[in-house]
Structure 1
Amino acid sequence: MASKTGNAFDFNLFKRLLKYTDPYKKTFYLVGVAAVLLSVASVLRPYLLKVTIDQAIVPQDYSELLYYILLMSGVLLAEVLFQFCFIYFANWLGQEVVRDLRVNLFEHMLQFKMKYFDKSAVGRLVTRAVSDIETIASIFSQGLFMIISDLLKMLVILGVMFYQSWQLTLLVLTVLPFIMYATRVFQKKMKIAFEEVRTQVANLNTFVQERITGMKIVQLFTREKEEYENFKNINDKHRKAWVKTVWYNSIFFPIAEMSTSITIGLIVWFGGLRAIESDAVSLGVIIMFIELSQMLFKPLRQIADKFNTLQMGMVAANRVFGVLDTRSTIKDEGTKEVKDLRGDIEFKDVRFSYVDDEEVLKGVSFKANAGETIAIVGATGAGKSTVINLLNRFYEINGGQIFIDGLDINSIKLKSLRSQIAVVLQNVFLFADTIMNNITLENPEVTEEDVINAAKRIGIHEFIETLPNGYYYNVKERGAMLSSGQRQLISFLRAFVSNPSILVLDEATSSVDSYSEQLIQDATDKITQGRTSIVIAHRLATIKKADKIMVMEAGEIVEMGTHQELLQKENGYYKNLYEVQFKAEEAV
């Protein structure tokens, strides 16, 4: 897992990330070879310059001068070629790795329990899946291989320098420890700073995502000024986090530049004295050392800069692997495949809590026979929606058992179980896509003809045809181009087309107009025929037609029976509910 904040580098995390390069070993090694050749070629240029000065320019040998110019041109072309291979394939490798990592992350997130999403901000998860993973790509394109190339270049430079003059080399190295110490301090400080940057980026993304999604609420309650001030505060924290990184950069790089200038001065002073006194050092050697010292310190400064990139990528990797290491999936240990279920449902002493020690269901037991319509009523928070969430295994029960056709739902493969249950929710979610794709969810087994025939059967074909482009009308994000009633109708058709064995309607008509309600009621009558249906509803018509009504209060079933049976109970919960709510509705 992650390194502690402030540690310069986490090698275990880095090794884990490198495993994603295993499918691309050839490219990985190609980039490494290009880095070596690039290091050698870049050091050859100052060496050839030294030879040119000492053997052609000083003795005024024009033929030698032309030869060395052509030789340096060839080295320069080779350096360009190696640099192209290095940059292109390093970036290519980075994009391949992040593609695989992003797919891996998204696949992992698809398996999470609903409980995980209940507690996790959408903006943070978007940051992990998009910007954090993109930052990881820079580890390969600008971090790892650049650092390796710079280190190789420094080693080759030091080798050449020692070979030419060990005295001048030692002079250069006197400044090196100071630069290395400053670099080390810089790396640690930047690690902490980048941790804060990524945290503030996630906070900013979360805030913006939530406010844009809930803009209607912001404007309805005239919260524009308050949200503007909140955004300014969060944005200011984001700015301060970035300014801290700028502060460290503004200190380190001037120190590095000053050290380079001091080194050049020492070379000119010491080398010039040696050249004047004893000819032990030639003019070419002095010029070569000036250029090599700059090349030595420049990679060192770049290493610090690239290490920043590496650190930022490692921080992002730490956060992404944090999501990948989260074990919040529904256990899918079932072995049975089910198809065309009868629809017998049984809850046996089912207990469940969203939060520890706060039970939502307190030993719920009931049976629904195949083909029956069961209505569930009760106050908000009574546990009605929890029943259908557990039937679909969106959450794990704390105790008891749930059976379908006599099979414990834990023994059924999760995908197989959910394929037999269709749910129509009160708050319909539609993707920014066509009506056709929102109905079929791009299932190749569902044809356009199937959708049209199903729409005609439940009486909403004409409604869809009135829309621009009909079934290929783009409803935009969350179905914003449709009314709530229209979205419900699309959701009904989506459920019907899936041909489920069990149908669940979760208050599906609570927020629609009377015309849409009539269409939905007609559709309900048709799609519930021959299917076990569980209906959570406030509307009288649906409940009165139910084969059985289950009344819930505070996580327990307090009454059960038909509409007429429950009305016969003196001071019964359902009777009181009917008289207060349903009678008024019936009168209207």
Structure 2
Amino acid sequence: MSHEFQRYQRLLMIYLRPQWRRVLCLLFFVCAGIALSLINPQLLSSFIDAAIAGKPLSSLLLLAGFFLAVAFIKQVTVLIEAYVAENIALSTTNRLRADLMLHCLQLDSAFHTVHTPGELIERVDGDVSSLSNFFSRFLVSLLGNLLLLLGVLLLLYVIDWRIGLALSGFTLFSLIVFDRLRNIASTAWQDERQASAELFGFLEERLAGTEDVRSSGATTYMHYGLAARSRQRLLKLRRAIQLNFASWGPATVLTALGTALALLLGSYLFLNKSISIGTVYLIFNYSLLLNTPIEQIVNQIRDLQQTTGSINRIQQLFDTTSSLQDGEGAPLPPGALAVAFQDVTFGYVEDLPVLKQLQLLIPAGSILGLLGRTGSGKSTLSKLLVRLYDPLQGSIQLGGVDLRSLKQDELHARIGIVTQDVHILHTTVRNNLTLFDPAIQDERILEVLEMLGLSSWYHSLPKGLETRLAPGGSGLSAGEAQLIAFARVFLKDPSLVILDEASSRLDPVTERLLEQAIDRLLKDRTGIIIAHRLATVQKADHILILEQGACKEYGERQALAADPASHFAHLLQAGLMEVLA
């Protein structure tokens, strides 16, 4: 339990500490509610005794008025307490979601290959949502219920020591029973959360490929997969609920026993003329009130069992570290940056290298044309350059600095990359172009759009830069989406530009429109062009041809083109696109 307690304590300290004023406010209203809960039975007891004794109506009305006033104030207190608790819950869980999301974004590509976006959404949102009560009420309510428990027992001792002693023993016995049942369902709830994450991961992956699923006639198979995962979640949920009953069933039995014990003792003392009928009612009422904190503690233990599974999964996610650690922050030189691959070997799977002992030097300000068949390692080279992965052997240098010595933010700020698959965000045109950088002025954005030939498209937007684009770029042509990706790189103003099949989705007219813009983009910058089309690599100063992860040919483009024995000259004669397809 000590290890779990440390996890609870760590989460509470990290995320409740900034909310300490609200927590103190919540604690005040919880204590106020406890005090009012203890006062009202006293008023009812006095009212009963006064009515039996034949006290004047004015005295009875006064007691009734006090009772109604206390009841009203208690309801107001409960409302304020709920409002403050909900604010604490929302603030803390939103901050936890943000931290988890940032942590996931900083994990390496190997992690995201194993875990689907749907699974991560369920873990970031679903698991965190289940902690809402834990943050808002668990600690304060536990303390409040313990105070209420002690207050009731103390007042029972004041009434009669025998009542206090008997119900204290009953309370101690109840708490021991519930403590034994505390963790019985926590593992089952953790399994249920994992099954839920797998279900959401399956849904996200299949819904993202709806067109392929329907066109290939695989809908029936998808239904079977959904049914299997839904049933798995049902079985896990049912198991967790069944185990949870072990802590709920005894609570009902103990509540009934406690009430019966209080009535028996109250009746005995009344028949012996030790207490009044009003005091009998007070004992009965306090026995019911005594059950309230016990039941609430049971409920909190049951919630904690569910929470334990979520906390463990959240902590597991936080404990997952990226294999790509930030460097100490070595400075990069200004301007265009040289690129050097020194004996680089890399593979996504051990013993299956994609790149093999690659040696490459791209001088600062020059352009490399990178050619090769599908699977030869072209895109892998670009992924290593932006440090989505680290090489298994060798090193990669940018501007004479090893990538592993750089801060990743500094590295990504100096490299711009355009791929054939463009991700369009469901947000405004401005945010899609600037990627949420408020420092980029509208004038600069419009200048870039004009340069890329997107002016007519921009003027067709109903709200200009504030127009929201549909999820996944729905409504945009492939060419428009690709040009948006180019605009992002222009606005970023990097030192190294990588074009990974960047013009493959453009029609010839749009591609010609873009050629001048590409020339401006590559001017005074180092460039790497990965392409199948001959016209694109004509801009390159050097040519590198990869074959099965190794360098087949490297040299100056003009020299290779003039050498009839070179592989590049053969590609030019045979037709580059056909040979490398």
Paired positions, count: 579
Gaps of at least 5 residues in structure 1 are 1-6
| More deviation, 203-212/334-343 | 334-343
Contact 2:247 2:298 in 1 (8 A): no
Distance 2:388 2:246 in 1: 53
Contact 1:341 1:405 in 2 (8 A): no
TM-score by length of structure 1 reads: 0.89
562 and 395 in structure 1: CA distance in 2 versus 1, 3 angstrom threshold: same
Distance apart, 1:284 and its partner CA: 1.8
Distance apart, 1:423 and its partner CA: 0.5
Distance 1:498 1:406 in 2: 22
Question: Which of 357, 362, 377 is 2:356 aligned to?
Answer: 362
What's 1:261 paired with? Answer: 256
Letter of the 1:550 partner, please give it: L
What's 2:503 paired with? Answer: 509
186 and 563 in structure 1: CA distance in 2 versus 1, 3 angstrom threshold: same
328 and 156 in structure 1: CA distance in 2 versus 1, 3 angstrom threshold: same
320 and 579 in structure 1: CA distance in 2 versus 1, 3 angstrom threshold: farther
Distance apart, 1:504 and its partner CA: 0.6
Q: Secondary structure at the match of 2:354?
A: strand
| More deviation, 519-528/482-491 | 519-528
What's 2:522 paired with? Answer: 528
Contact 1:137 1:313 in 2 (8 A): no
Q: Deviations over 1:104-125 (max 9, x none)?
A: 3333334333333233321222
168 and 370 in structure 1: CA distance in 2 versus 1, 3 angstrom threshold: closer
Distance apart, 1:293 and its partner CA: 1.3
What's 1:327 paired with? Answer: 321
What's 2:230 paired with? Answer: 235
What's 1:3 paired with? Answer: none
Distance 1:516 1:138 in 2: 55
What's 2:103 paired with? Answer: 108
What's 2:16 paired with? Answer: 21
What's 1:373 paired with? Answer: 367
Contact 1:350 1:397 in 2 (8 A): yes
325 and 253 in structure 1: CA distance in 2 versus 1, 3 angstrom threshold: closer
Contact 1:143 1:307 in 2 (8 A): no
Letter of the 1:156 partner, please give it: G
Q: Secondary structure at the match of 2:74?
A: helix
What's 2:146 paired with? Answer: 151
137 and 329 in structure 1: CA distance in 2 versus 1, 3 angstrom threshold: farther
Q: Deviations over 1:522-552 (max 9, x none)?
A: 4333422333210111112112442221111
Q: Secondary structure at the match of 1:381?
A: coil
| More deviation, 520-529/133-142 | 520-529
What's 1:382 paired with? Answer: 376
Distance 1:165 1:461 in 2: 88
Q: Deviations over 1:474-515 (max 9, x none)?
A: 331121221222211211122123222221111112333333
Distance 2:184 2:563 in 1: 73
What's 2:119 paired with? Answer: 124
TM-score by length of structure 2 reads: 0.90
Distance 1:88 1:508 in 2: 53
Distance 2:276 2:398 in 1: 92
Contact 2:345 2:394 in 1 (8 A): yes
Distance 2:230 2:441 in 1: 48
Distance apart, 1:412 and its partner CA: 4.2
What's 1:34 paired with? Answer: 29
Matched, 1:191 2:186: yes
| More deviation, 124-133/570-579 | 570-579
Question: Which of 534, 538, 552 is 1:558 aligned to?
Answer: 552
Distance apart, 1:154 and its partner CA: 1.4
Matched, 1:455 2:449: yes
What's 2:211 paired with? Answer: 216
Contact 1:128 1:320 in 2 (8 A): yes
Contact 1:186 1:304 in 2 (8 A): no
Distance 1:85 1:510 in 2: 60
459 and 370 in structure 1: CA distance in 2 versus 1, 3 angstrom threshold: farther
Question: Which of 283, 286, 297 is 1:292 aligned to?
Answer: 286
Q: Deviations over 1:347-384 (max 9, x none)?
A: 22223333344433222111222332211112233221
Cα RMSD of the aligned pairs, angstroms, is 3.1
462 and 82 in structure 1: CA distance in 2 versus 1, 3 angstrom threshold: closer
Q: Deviations over 1:406-457 (max 9, x none)?
A: 3334444433332222100111111112333212223233222222222333
Q: Secondary structure at the match of 2:344?
A: strand
Contact 1:435 1:490 in 2 (8 A): no
